[in-house]
Chains A and B, each alone.
Chain A
Amino acid sequence: MNLLEARNLRKTYRLSRRNKVEALRGVELHIQSGEMVAIMGPSGSGKSTLMHILGLLHSPDANGGPPPELSINGTDVTGLSDRSRTRMRAETMGFVFQSYNLVPTLSAVENVALAGEYAGVPRRKATAAAMEALGLVGLAERSDHRPMELSGGEQQRVAIARSLVNEPMLLLADEPTGNLDTATGHEVLQLLQRFNRERGQTLVLVTHDHEVGDFTDRIIHMRDGLIETSAG
């Protein structure tokens, strides 16, 4: 069963009246439930834009072409309001970013619990779930540390715990190893792979790292706003 189905995804950014960038030029994409997919491509190929659209952070546009189609777990999401998209992000998706993006004033466990709270879980329950998620990434002992007090690898593991805490169907990771050294990067990828295998969480990650292919089921190569190849 396909978790993600997309057709005619276009996205055009108008930087000024004359200057527009066609970041996506009609992408068609199917991702199966439980799949681990890497999106690769040079800068400006549109891979980040695709991530933002799949993550419901931006909406696709038609730009003169046929109307875009995007459904997640069978739900058409193209016409959803900001409120509904926000709720969907909270409840069915997890995000991991290149620069970890933890809230600096919150401890590790509070950062993780925040995602639970946004999904409507009461704080006490969210904190318990957050402790459990931190345990899964091996950081139970550092739960009361602030991001400043953690290494880059540890921060990224906290971010992964945050993306897992609501047990989302879809995990989106944007260059999750980009700021880490090779060894730490591998640990993070192994962690992501483990959750994909053990929990059946669909994982889409954008990366420059060619070795990532060793971990994923399939690599999608993008160029100039289109999918070039899609191979396992």
Chain B
Amino acid sequence: MRLLRQLTRRKLRTTLTILGITIGIWALVVFSSMANKINALVEGGSQYFAGKVLVTDASSIGVGIGTSPMNREVADQIAELDGVAAAAPEIQMIYDPEAGGAFGGAETLLGAVTGADKGLETFPIRAIQGRLITLEDEGSHVVVLGSDLARKEAVSIGDTLEIRGEDFEVVGILEPTLTAPDTTAWVPLAAAQELFHASLPAPIQEAISADELISQVVVYPDVGVTEGDVAARIETEIDNVSTLTGAEFDEQIGSATAIFNAIIIGVAVISLVVGGLSVINTMAMSVAERTREIGVKRAIGGARGRIVRELVAEAALIGFIGGLIGLGLGAVVVVLANEAGRDSGTILFDLTVGTAIFAVAFSTILGIVAGIIPAWHAARLDPVEALRYE
């Protein structure tokens, strides 16, 4: 209560200082939420690629995704190699060619043969409604949708969904994972083969039939064999393929996220410097104005430590209020942006409880640290000098 009264003594100045912190913390919250989302995507990818090798055509350019046509024979050839436990042929393609690539995980269509992984896939995919694709679905047009995609298409179990001009029955919707599966549509391999075949240029369509067509092979090594060894063997034995191991995924995508995370830290540092300086400035002015009051307090027996505590508490309160408002405004932006992006399936932000707590704690500590210097200066004043101060 007393603290608030001290703060409201100079309403405009306190408000401006709080605003300075608010902006810093707002930026911190928004950027951290973005980083959370990206890191979750990368984490999901990292988890998915751990312990396996993704084989794509040598001409495929995406990292962790094969979109160039390959012959299904390649999967059989790889399965024959030593150290390979399973080689699952798959098709991965852009879900909606009109939409283009979306930030934060492009929407993809994945065609796979259930069981081709021989039970080795460990990445957890669970249906929240309906069911997953089974082997019996092979040959029929059914689809299981990731949570974001299902929300975007506004479909539920039993509905018919048109994908690339073909009708599919929605049989399952997946639990949100905050990573790539949220924006993925699963179909039986044969259905994906048809769609993929139809999307290819005419000369290629003539050269390869739909049932021979795949775009990537997911390879599971035998127990005791490293994915690096398997990848090396595939590259030497099979022509015109490139491989990606979990470690390589981490390296390639990890360096990109490291840059992004560095930007976040940069924002945090700038907000720290700007916000901190404005708190120092405000508190230094408050101390100067209150020189006489501090002199009185010292004269009537206020210990130095107590003077420091009073002033630091004021600065901490400025930081705390600024942090709360910054968090509030940041949360508003995150929620609005996610709502706006929901229709297009673009969820950009993930504001976690940890981020929220960190932001407020960070700005409070910032206030404390910035308050210490002027407070210490105040406590060191000669009480007699301070009493004479006009």
Q: Are B9 and A90 in contact (CB under 8 A)?
A: no
Q: Once A and B bind, how many residue pairs between them come within 8 Å at the CB atom?
A: 63
Q: How far apart are A93's CB and chain B's nearest CB, in angstroms?
A: 8
Within 8 A of B (CB), among A111-131: 114-115, 118-119
**Which of B9, B302, B387 is in CB contact (< 8 Å) with A97?**
B387
Q: Are A82 and B304 in contact (CB under 8 A)?
A: yes
Q: How far apart are A158's CB and chain B's nearest CB, in angstroms?
A: 12
Chain B residues with CB under 8 Å of A106's CB are 2, 5
CA distance A191 to B294 in the complex (A): 27
CA distance A110 to B296 in the complex (A): 14
Q: Are A105 and B298 in contact (CB under 8 A)?
A: no
Residue of A nearest to B300 (CB): A115
Residue of A nearest to B7 (CB): A105
Within 8 A of A (CB), among B346-390: 382-384, 387
Given contacts A101-B292, A105-B9, contact A118 B303 (CB under 8 A): yes
Within 8 A of A (CB), among B130-151: none
Within 8 A of B (CB), among A72-105: 82-83, 86-87, 89-91, 93-95, 97, 101-105
- Which among B2, B299, B300, B382 has the greatest number of chain A C-beta atoms within 10 A? B300
Given contacts A57-B384, A103-B293, contact A86 B298 (CB under 8 A): yes
Given contacts A105-B2, A105-B6, A106-B2, contact A55 B297 (CB under 8 A): no
Given contacts A57-B383, A97-B387, A110-B2, contact A103 B303 (CB under 8 A): no
Q: Are A104 and B303 in contact (CB under 8 A)?
A: no
Q: How far apart are A198's CB and chain B's nearest CB, in angstroms?
A: 22
Chain A residues with CB under 8 Å of B9's CB are 104-105
Chain A residues with CB under 8 Å of B302's CB are 86, 90, 114, 118
Residue of A nearest to B298 (CB): A86
The answer to the question of B306 belonging to the interface, with a C-beta cut-off of 8 Å to chain A, is yes
Q: Are B301 and A119 in contact (CB under 8 A)?
A: yes
CA distance A121 to B5 in the complex (A): 23
Q: Are A91 and B5 in contact (CB under 8 A)?
A: no
The answer to the question of A25 belonging to the interface, with a C-beta cut-off of 8 Å to chain B, is no
Q: Are B296 and A87 in contact (CB under 8 A)?
A: no
The answer to the question of A52 belonging to the interface, with a C-beta cut-off of 8 Å to chain B, is yes
The answer to the question of A58 belonging to the interface, with a C-beta cut-off of 8 Å to chain B, is yes
Chain B residues with CB under 8 Å of A162's CB are 300
Chain B residues with CB under 8 Å of A87's CB are 301, 303
Chain B residues with CB under 8 Å of A119's CB are 301
Q: How far apart are A107's CB and chain B's nearest CB, in angstroms?
A: 10
Q: Are A86 and B296 in contact (CB under 8 A)?
A: no
Q: How far apart are B318's CB and chain A's nearest CB, in angstroms?
A: 16
Interface size band for B:
20 to 34
Q: Are A91 and B301 in contact (CB under 8 A)?
A: yes
Chain A residues with CB under 8 Å of B299's CB are 55, 57, 89, 95
Residue total for A at the interface (Cβ-Cβ under 8 A): 28
Q: Are A58 and B296 in contact (CB under 8 A)?
A: no
Given contacts A52-B384, A83-B303, A86-B302, contact A101 B296 (CB under 8 A): yes
Q: Are A89 and B301 in contact (CB under 8 A)?
A: yes
CA distance A58 to B299 in the complex (A): 10
Chain B residues with CB under 8 Å of A94's CB are 300
Chain B residues with CB under 8 Å of A103's CB are 293, 296-297
CA distance A115 to B2 in the complex (A): 15
Residue of B nearest to A168 (CB): B301
Chain B residues with CB under 8 Å of A52's CB are 384
CA distance A123 to B106 in the complex (A): 62
CA distance A87 to B305 in the complex (A): 12
Q: How far apart are B293's CB and chain A's nearest CB, in angstroms?
A: 6
Given contacts A101-B292, A101-B296, A105-B9, contact A86 B387 (CB under 8 A): no
**Which of A57, A91, A97, A114 is in CB contact (< 8 Å) with B297?**
A114
CA distance A62 to B387 in the complex (A): 25
- Which among B297, B299, B301, B387 has the greatest number of chain A C-beta atoms within 10 A? B301
Given contacts A103-B293, A104-B293, contact A89 B300 (CB under 8 A): yes
Q: Are B5 and A105 in contact (CB under 8 A)?
A: yes
Q: Are B301 and A90 in contact (CB under 8 A)?
A: yes
**Which of B5, B295, B300, B387 is in CB contact (< 8 Å) with A118?**
B300
CA distance A106 to B290 in the complex (A): 13
Chain B residues with CB under 8 Å of A55's CB are 299
CA distance A11 to B387 in the complex (A): 18
CA distance A50 to B295 in the complex (A): 18
Q: Are B293 and A118 in contact (CB under 8 A)?
A: no
Q: How far apart are A138's CB and chain B's nearest CB, in angstroms?
A: 21
Chain A residues with CB under 8 Å of B298's CB are 86
Residue of B nearest to A58 (CB): B384
Q: List 28 A-B contacts (CB under 8 A).
A: A55-B299, A82-B304, A86-B298, A86-B303, A87-B303, A89-B299, A89-B301, A90-B301, A90-B303, A94-B300, A97-B296, A101-B292, A101-B295, A102-B296, A103-B297, A104-B293, A105-B5, A105-B6, A105-B9, A106-B2, A106-B5, A114-B300, A114-B302, A115-B301, A118-B297, A118-B300, A118-B303, A119-B301
Chain B interface (Cβ < 8 Å from any Cβ of A): 2, 5-6, 9, 292-293, 295-304, 306, 382-384, 387
Q: What are the nearest 9 A-B pairs in CB distance?
A: A90-B301, A118-B301, A101-B296, A105-B5, A89-B301, A118-B302, A115-B300, A86-B303, A57-B384
Known: A87-B301, A103-B296, A105-B6. 18 other contacts (CB 8 A): A57-B299, A58-B382, A89-B299, A89-B300, A90-B303, A91-B301, A95-B300, A97-B387, A101-B293, A101-B296, A102-B296, A103-B293, A104-B293, A105-B5, A114-B302, A118-B297, A118-B300, A162-B300
